[in-house]
Chain A
Amino acid sequence: MPFIDDILTYKSLSIVGLEKNTGKTECLNYVLSRLKDMDKRIALTSIGIDGESRDIVTNTHKPEIRIYNGMIFISAEKHYLQRRITSEILDVSNIHTSLGRLVTARALSSDKVMLSGPPDTHTLKSLIAGMNQYNVDLTIVDGALSRLSLASPAVTEGMVLATGAAYSANIPELVRKTKYVIDLINLPEVEPALKLQLDAVESGILAIDPQGCLHDLNVQSVFMLEKAKDRIFSHGNRLFVAGATSNNLFEFLRMQKNAASIELIVKDFTKIFATPEVYYSFIRKGGTVKVVTRTKLAAVCINPVSPQGYRLSSDELKAAMQDALQMPVYDVKKL
């Protein structure tokens, strides 16, 4: 049974699609159908709205999410009341979404449901933490659109990545784009002592000297970097950016004389917003990028069919993808 055992080692898991219709929901349905027979308590929620039977953005068929007897799910009031499943309300939270408050319920039959969840990762995080009271073993978060932010290890421990023809209809292009995300996910972690220190830093840009001491550069974000250009490397070549990193930062770093010895540290891969071209030219110059916390990638799923009607060859895509990523890849239609 592909990658299910791996998933069970996590407390929380996000399923993220690189684009809509990359097979995220099929992938989730597969995971749930396998988990139902295991002696584990599963909770399920989503970020934003999901589970609608027609895809709102592209108006194509979209599979619903099938929940099994005993699983806990969270959905907004409006969707909850439209459900077909028999379920028992366990809690109604004070968190309001555009679809009403969030209802936590336990499925008493097996059926399809509309999932909707908190609109932001912060609330999602506390919601996942709250699942402890129901002795949940694993909370699965269904991602919405191409939001990678919930795959941050600060929110969910592990992730499943769904990619496919909807992301790009050309196999080499699709592989290249996916590989970039996987490269970021696989960025190495900093040494444990430094990790401990940087975990506590929530904002700003810090220089790390060769002795491992932190120096706050008093720059709020990379957008204010211009002001601190002269001071950035006054403590050595290691730099930690707590917030988002942009093309600007990578371009600036690449152009420095010491580019080859620069080591950029970010909180996790979701903080990198540079385009692949800019990112890779920094790497080619010899620069290093590390993360404070690495995301655990449980699996990569592909969907060879796109909503525009492109149908790529599943085997060819799978082979090309596995070759580039050096890890097993699964076709959601064949799981």
Chain B
Amino acid sequence: MQLKAALAEIYGLRYMIDRLDIKSGLAHRVLLASPFIVSQKELQHQLELVSNTQKSLCDDSTKPLLGKVTIKLAQVRDIGGTAKSIQKGVTLNDVELFEVKSFALIAQEVKELLKTIPFLGEQLPSLLAVVELLDPEGTRIPSFYISSHFDANLAPLRKQLAGLELMLEGSTDEQLQRQSDEVRSKIEAIEDGVRQRVSTLLASHANDLARAILAIASIDILIAKAKQAIADSLVMPVIGGETTSYQGLFYPQLKEVLEQQNKRYQPIDVEVNRGSCLITGANMAGKTVLLKTLALSQAMCQYGFFVPAQSAHVALVDHILFSIADEQSELSGLSSYGAEMLKVNHIVQMAKKQHKLLVLIDELARTTNPTEGRAIVNAVANFLNGCNVRAIITTHYSGLGAACRKLRVKGFIDSSGDTQITIRNIGDYIDYSLVEDDGTSVPHEALRIAQILGVDADILTEAAKQLGAN
């Protein structure tokens, strides 16, 4: 899956991508087309590039150079379309020739700047031949026209035309007009010839140009990724193995929002093993955020980004699949239960095909009756436990008999102090960390939370009465 498609599926990914300080539209296009990397070797290489770039950004001897490179990158134009035309042997017009020239000049300057940072510059081929072709004067200024350096015949003809035009000003002499038209068409023929000749010569450098376009884009992307890693305290994940584990995993967007409000954000430690794992916990205990964070972190890792954690081991997967409630189901004409079951079925089918998956299911079967719902949770958990997947399923059901791992969010901290818990400070009284659990009972804190939220006392008293009656 290309990054572009993943943006619509992975919560929080767009936020990270939007905040990348990418300089050129070209790099942005290339970034959105980047693949989900499943090869450990390739991903390792990508992550090391980010890591090395990060080091260069922190090193006082190379940092100013990268600053200069960034300025150059901001001037890059996307000549992807023109490069394709060159490859196909199309004759370029002046605007396209200008763009190729200015791109080649920038690429050469970037290459020169990166001489002392070879790991960044080595993918960038020399475009000196292209520069020399389009800049026969050797001024190295990014402006373009078909000057007489391309064809010596142009200068005298242009001079002649200027003279004729001068004589023609205010005159209607037909012979002069004819003469001027003749000279003009001679000039045009020469100019067209130059465009053809230059375009044909450019075609022999088409591969270098295509490589340079990608290299320039990837330099831009790497610098942006490394800057983001520094700014957002992302970490280079250790990849491979069978178990994914994070220390201090966080959801960047939420962390930033809470920090702006001077609220506490609690990063969590979590281990995702092969098989399935059921997570229980009170409402508002951060189960959904946990799933979203796991998906985001996995995606960032496999698109070659550092991940939002203090330290991370990430087992690579082929696909990230999840079922998290959204508002789309009604639009597709399905009930929320119907939409959920189809998503779960898709997950099961993918698992049956031996795909290596990260599966994240939020409150499975929550919209149906608890008896059947519990049965579905157990069935899905049991089935996935035997597949090549890492599945996390959150639920509010108790008495889960599935033979898989079970975790619980610690939830409410007993507030012995006299501070009143309110909707504003509730976050301070929840411990979001995960503990092993047996799954026989679940936290019963729905009423307490409803009370904190300020739900009408009539309902709360009646509900408590009902509970007592049972």
**Which residues of A are in contact with B by a Cβ distance under 8 Å?**
77, 80-81, 84, 86-90, 92, 94, 101, 103, 105-106, 108-111
Contacts and interface: CB of A to CB of B under 8 A. Distances in A.
A81 B94 CA distance: 7
Given A88-B143, A89-B145, A110 B95 contact: no
A53 B184 CA distance: 19
Given A86-B158, A110-B165, A80 B95 contact: yes
Given A81-B93, A88-B147, A101-B95, 9 more contacts: A80-B94, A80-B95, A84-B184, A86-B145, A89-B95, A92-B99, A94-B25, A109-B162, A111-B165
A193 to B, nearest CB: 38
Interface in B61-104: 77, 93-95, 98-99
A259 B99 CA distance: 61
Contacts of A90: 143
Given A94-B25, A106-B143, A108-B145, A89 B94 contact: yes
A219 B350 CA distance: 59
13 contacts: A77-B95, A81-B94, A81-B95, A84-B184, A86-B158, A87-B145, A89-B94, A89-B98, A90-B143, A92-B95, A103-B95, A106-B143, A110-B162
Contacts of B184: 84
Nearest to A83: B94
B158 A89 contact: no
B337 interface: no
A92 B144 CA distance: 11
A109 B145 contact: no
B357 to A, nearest CB: 41
A89 B93 CA distance: 12
Nearest to A100: B95
Nearest to A109: B162
A89 B77 CA distance: 15
Given A81-B93, A94-B25, A103-B95, A88 B161 contact: no
A323 B321 CA distance: 81
Contacts of A77: 95
A84 B158 CA distance: 12
A141 B90 CA distance: 36
B84 to A, nearest CB: 18
Contacts of A109: 158, 161-162, 165
Q: Which of B143, B165, B184 has the most CB of A within 10 A?
A: B143
A260 B165 CA distance: 61
Contacts of B143: 88-90, 106
B184 to A, nearest CB: 7
Contacts of B99: 92
Interface string B148-184: 0000000000100110010000000000000000001
Contacts of B162: 109-110
A111 B99 CA distance: 24
Given A81-B93, A84-B184, A111-B165, A92 B98 contact: yes
Nearest to A106: B143
A101 B99 CA distance: 12
A43 B95 CA distance: 19
Contacts of A106: 143
Contact of B145 (A88, A92, A101, A110): A88
A88 B147 CA distance: 9
Nearest to A94: B25
Contacts of B187: 86
A106 B144 CA distance: 10
A110 B167 CA distance: 13
Q: Which of A84, A89, A92, A110 has the most CB of B within 10 A?
A: A89
A205 to B, nearest CB: 34
A87 B147 CA distance: 9
A117 to B, nearest CB: 16
A86 B94 CA distance: 11
Nearest to B166: A110
A77 B97 CA distance: 13
A197 to B, nearest CB: 33
Nearest to A81: B93
A201 B187 CA distance: 55
Interface string B125-149: 0000000000000000001110100
A175 to B, nearest CB: 32
Contacts of A110: 162, 165
